[in-house]
Amino acid sequence: MTQRQFTLGALAAALGAALDGDSARVVTGLAPLETAGPDDVSFLTDPRYRDAARASRAAAVLAAADAEPLGPAMLRVKQPQIALVQLLLLFHPRPPASPGVHPTAIVAPDARVDPTAAVGALAVIERGAVLGPRVRIHPLAFVGPNVEVGEDTEIHPTVVLVDGVRIGRRVIVHPGAVIGSDGFGYVFDSGAHQKIPQVGTVVIEDDVEIGANTTIDRATLGATVIRRGTKIDNLVQIGHNVEVGEHAILVAQVGISGSSRLGRGVVLAGQVGVADHVAVGDGAMIGAQSGIHADIEPGAKVLGTPARPIMQAKRIFLSESQLPDFGRKLRELERRLDRLEGRGGEARRDG
Amino acid sequence: MTQRQFTLGALAAALGAALDGDSARVVTGLAPLETAGPDDVSFLTDPRYRDAARASRAAAVLAAADAEPLGPAMLRVKQPQIALVQLLLLFHPRPPASPGVHPTAIVAPDARVDPTAAVGALAVIERGAVLGPRVRIHPLAFVGPNVEVGEDTEIHPTVVLVDGVRIGRRVIVHPGAVIGSDGFGYVFDSGAHQKIPQVGTVVIEDDVEIGANTTIDRATLGATVIRRGTKIDNLVQIGHNVEVGEHAILVAQVGISGSSRLGRGVVLAGQVGVADHVAVGDGAMIGAQSGIHADIEPGAKVLGTPARPIMQAKRIFLSESQLPDFGRKLRELERRLDRLEGRGGEARRDG
Amino acid sequence: MTQRQFTLGALAAALGAALDGDSARVVTGLAPLETAGPDDVSFLTDPRYRDAARASRAAAVLAAADAEPLGPAMLRVKQPQIALVQLLLLFHPRPPASPGVHPTAIVAPDARVDPTAAVGALAVIERGAVLGPRVRIHPLAFVGPNVEVGEDTEIHPTVVLVDGVRIGRRVIVHPGAVIGSDGFGYVFDSGAHQKIPQVGTVVIEDDVEIGANTTIDRATLGATVIRRGTKIDNLVQIGHNVEVGEHAILVAQVGISGSSRLGRGVVLAGQVGVADHVAVGDGAMIGAQSGIHADIEPGAKVLGTPARPIMQAKRIFLSESQLPDFGRKLRELERRLDRLEGRGGEARRDG
């Protein structure tokens, strides 16, 4: 990698930032506040780190338009997080892929590979597959028969796209992910589980990202669908005939059982499990490790197994700490009542 | 894919169904009730969807022998789920594999590959491996040294079968699964974890199915065993020296720790964890996300972490909702008792 | 595999063991107590299995220096578990790798491969990668651009080492593991999740072991770090910018969210989840399936979701069984109080 360098003035222009500092000063790297040196630009995207920003050795700090003055020079922008993305791309531009098919890739004669697509070493492209413009298939990836991959999509090493799945545009599939494996369906007959053929497919819409070693099963009939803009982390399992709405977030190790439907903008935190045939409404947020066994209202925030509204779940959690005390208190109250009932009788006799 | 077509009469004959309708009518596809068109056959395997069946545009509906008459023609059978499997296979027959070794596959000179077996592009078959009749090894799969694969077994792309594992007949291993990786065993000595060599193997019996990116570790000594007919979903972890009985069902993301034994016909729902050295009796059913830390009786139905009988677990869950109330009620009872004890004293004095 | 054989005298010498028995007797295998035959040596590393040791048909049993005499001959050592590791290696020595690059491996012209390293069939070594002495890259593995792999490290089939990750010495990476995939980071803007470029790396220090299909994400900036001696099981997820201390143990299906820090010697049991930006202190032990949402003190032993001190968690679990009773008892106490309050009044009137 060749090192890139910019003047603060050039960075301010690229980011549309207001610069408080020397526009001629040169920076050669981008680093967090604590580790930045005098040749680096850094960033303050979370006001909680203000003290670290003040103490930083960075040449300049990217910050919000209304941030207090800091020691280093400042690049002020309206949306520091968005500007940070631009800054990351300025210092670490994506290496361009060289179009063309590596001589060791195995491409079926009737596969259609756009001349601008790149197919890496030892990748396998099966019969009838279609790779659109600027698609990038990394080494050792498998593109099954009749799979379609839309333009600008990147398929990382050892990914498996099974027969006939359809991948949209600008999709990223990280290493080891499997899209289109058989759904898990059997019918018990004659003393054994008989496999229900899984003859549907998977449709991944545009701008979806799929994490490493994640698995998405094909539908029994019809399609398992991941709608556009949804981001899926590593080691996630998505069962057959599931539909995930647009712009959803599925954090690592989430599992979604067959035929469930997640609405638009749903957020599932890590290790959440969703039972089969469940509907999770638009914008619902599910806390980490929760278990979803029934429909969830749009916009609901739930937690726990089975999941409850998050405030109720937290109250229950607090009460649980007192649970061993409750038993002790109940026994004490019983003793006091026993005494009182005896005493009450005496009072009567006394009376 | 070429489209297949059948008359309803031909389908009735193939399924052994009684037809209520026009036996000459031609259908060209199979689809769910909601999406079926006038050229499709559909199915009603769950009576809850009777209304959808009545409203369906399908040419005919596969249904139970005693189902009420519907709008479309009906194919009546005793076991609609079994007939549906046949119907799926009629419309979507498995493409035949061409026997032979792809010229780019790397096959060790002393590996024995049955002439009816198919080895795909860039697959690796190591020394001493044995592939039986009609075995299908997909592209980019790895069959390690001395591995044996029984007849009619299918090994999907990027599967890894590590040294010496034995795979039975009619087994399906989905993409990315790893069979025979080292068990997780160490002994702490001289300030570090020393690896315990894992020199055992894995035995997968006949008719087992193993999901995408699932991992099954080899035994320390002896064998990790998956008995015949067992079906394992995606992303499941099976530790060293585990034994899974016949016809078990392990749903996605289940994890089983070392040396545990699952009986025949056990069902583990999604994300269940089983501790090490635990025995789960024949036919036990474990609810989703449960944690199993002690032996489970045959036929038991349990839920939760740690797992309890399912009815008890559900009662506890309902009570938990009242837990914050319990605290409030306890305090109220205490106040009432305080008052009464004071009053009881007065009553005495009064008397 | 050729069978290896030793006299008990030779084994005693190799292990530094005191032999009670015939030093000339020959053994040809190593097996557990129950399955060992008269040509095998066995081992008693856990005193609970003493009865099995007495009944064993083994020619000799490896046992503690102070173990009671058994039926078979005995090899007495101070640390039987350590000696067992030696015994496993004596009977099952690691097959030596033949140095050299397989003719079908794809190695970039500027990659530096030590002449003692072994690169298997159809492995891909990208530009700028460095493989140290005696490194072993198995078939179908992917070593990305500028990746460095330290001496004596073993990379199993289908492993993916993404651009620029650094792997130490004597590391083992099991099949299907992915090291250096993008961290999961987005900023929501213009109605969609915008990807935050993940331009950091992953550093795996010496003597680390990484399980099958485990995923370790690269840092946004800087490095995700796994410190020396740490052992990671299968299907574990480690997020961006995480740091795992030395000699930690992460059991299967654990998930660690971004920027969390685990101390030295931490143990996470199976399926534990750790939230982001959390610190787990040195030597802390986290029970299976726990959820860690806040910092954990060094040496703490915790359990549950959210995690509590293990003794408290167990007390709560016991109390939970009585929870449905608590409700009943509370209602009974209320009734008794109602009666008493009425009776107290009567007592007064009586008096």
Q: In B, which residues are within 8 Å of A340 by CB distance?
A: 337, 340-341, 344
User: Quick check: ipTM above 0.85?
Assistant: yes
pLDDT above 90 coverage of chain C, percent: 84
- In this structure, which amino acid lies at residue B8? L
Q: Active-site residues of C: which are they?
A: 240
pLDDT at A40 over 60: yes
Please enumerate in sequence order all residues whose Cβ is within 8 A of that of A100, keeping only pairs 6 or more positions apart, or say none.
A118, A119
Q: pLDDT-based confidence at A347, cuts 50/70/90?
A: very low
Q: Tokens for B336, please give them.
A: 């009432």
**pLDDT tens digits, B226-271:** 999 999 999 999 999 999 999 999 999 999 999 999 999 999 999 9
Q: In C, which residues are within 8 Å of A1 by CB distance?
A: 146
Question: Which of A260-264, C290-294, C336-340 comes out lowest in average pLDDT?
Answer: C336-340
Q: pLDDT-based confidence at B2, cuts 50/70/90?
A: low
pLDDT above 70 coverage of chain C, percent: 97
Q: Is A270 on the interface with B (CB under 8 A)?
A: no
pLDDT at A177 over 90: yes
Interface of C with A in 241-260 (CB under 8 A): 253, 255, 257
Q: Active-site residues of B: which are they?
A: 240
Minimal-distance CA residue of chain A relative to B80 = A187
pLDDT score of A343: 59
Q: What is the mean pLDDT of residues B284-311?
A: 96
pLDDT score of C348: 41
pLDDT at A338 over 50: yes
Q: What is the mean pLDDT of residues A331-350?
A: 70
Nearest to C122 among B122, B160, B271 (CB): B122
| Strand-strand pairing, A130-131 and A148-149 | parallel
Minimal-distance CA residue of chain B relative to A349 = B351
Q: pLDDT-based confidence at C326, cuts 50/70/90?
A: confident
pLDDT at A1 over 70: no
Distances (CA, A) of B348 to B205, B343, C64: 81, 8, 73
| Cis peptide upstream of residue A306 (ω within 30 degrees of 0) | yes
Q: In C, which residues are within 8 Å of B238 by CB distance?
A: none
Whole-angstrom distance, CA of residue C124 vs CA of residue B143: 18
Residue with tokens 């003035």: A9
**pLDDT tens digits, A124-136:** 999 999 999 999 9
Whole-angstrom distance, CA of residue A345 vs CA of residue B312: 39
**pLDDT tens digits, B124-142:** 999 999 999 999 999 999 9
C neighbour chains, 3+ CB pairs within 8 Å? A, B
Q: pLDDT-based confidence at A349, cuts 50/70/90?
A: very low
User: What pTM did the predictor assign?
Assistant: 0.95
Q: What is the mean pLDDT of residues A208-231?
A: 98
pLDDT above 70 coverage of chain B, percent: 97
Minimal-distance CA residue of chain A relative to C343 = A344
Interface of C with B in 31-50 (CB under 8 A): 31-32, 35
DSSP state of A296: B
A191 min Cα distance to partner chain C (Å): 32
Whole-angstrom distance, CA of residue C270 vs CA of residue C224: 21
pLDDT at B37 over 50: yes
Q: Cβ separation of A176 and B176 shorter than 8 Å?
A: yes
B344 min Cα distance to partner chain A (Å): 7
pLDDT score of B343: 59
pLDDT score of C350: 41
pLDDT at A8 over 70: yes
C7 min Cα distance to partner chain A (Å): 47
Nearest to C340 among A251, A252, A340 (CB): A340
For residue A53, the surrounding DSSP H or E stretch is helix A50-55
Distances (CA, A) of C88 to B180, C20, C93, C240: 17, 21, 8, 37
Whole-angstrom distance, CA of residue B234 vs CA of residue B268: 13
Report chain A's mean pLDDT, rounded to a whole number: 94
The separation between CA B16 and the C-alpha centre of its own chain, rounded to angstroms, equals 29
Residue with tokens 């069979």: B179
CA-based nearest residue to C211, from B128, A195, B307, B235: B235
Which of B160, B186, B201 to mutate to test binding with chain C, by most C CBs within 10 Å of its CB? B160
Q: What is the mean pLDDT of residues B75-80?
A: 96
Q: Tokens for A267, please give them.
A: 């957020």
**pLDDT tens digits, B44-72:** 998 889 999 999 999 999 999 999 888 89
Q: Is B294 on the interface with C (CB under 8 A)?
A: no
Q: In A, which residues are within 8 Å of C303 by CB distance?
A: none
Which of C78, C228, C289 to mutate to test binding with chain B, by most B CBs within 10 Å of its CB? C289
pLDDT score of C343: 59
| Cβ-contact A222, A200 below 8 angstroms | yes
C207 min Cα distance to partner chain A (Å): 24
pLDDT at C4 over 60: yes
pLDDT score of C2: 57
| Strand-strand pairing, C192-195 and C186-189 | antiparallel
Report chain B's mean pLDDT, rounded to a whole number: 94
What is the distance in angstroms between the CA of the first residue and the CA of the last residue of chain B? 99
Distances (CA, A) of A295 to A257, A260, B301, C152: 13, 9, 24, 52
Interface of B with A in 133-162 (CB under 8 A): 138-140, 156-158
Which of C174, C187, C237 to mutate to test binding with chain A, by most A CBs within 10 Å of its CB? C237
Q: Cβ separation of A312 and B333 shorter than 8 Å?
A: no
Q: Tokens for C30, please give them.
A: 């190593």
| Cis peptide upstream of residue C306 (ω within 30 degrees of 0) | yes
Question: Which of A280-289, B211-220, C162-171, C307-316 comes out lowest in average pLDDT?
Answer: C307-316
| Strand-strand pairing, C6-7 and C26-27 | antiparallel
A17 min Cα distance to partner chain B (Å): 46
Q: In C, which residues are within 8 Å of B199 by CB distance?
A: 88, 91-92
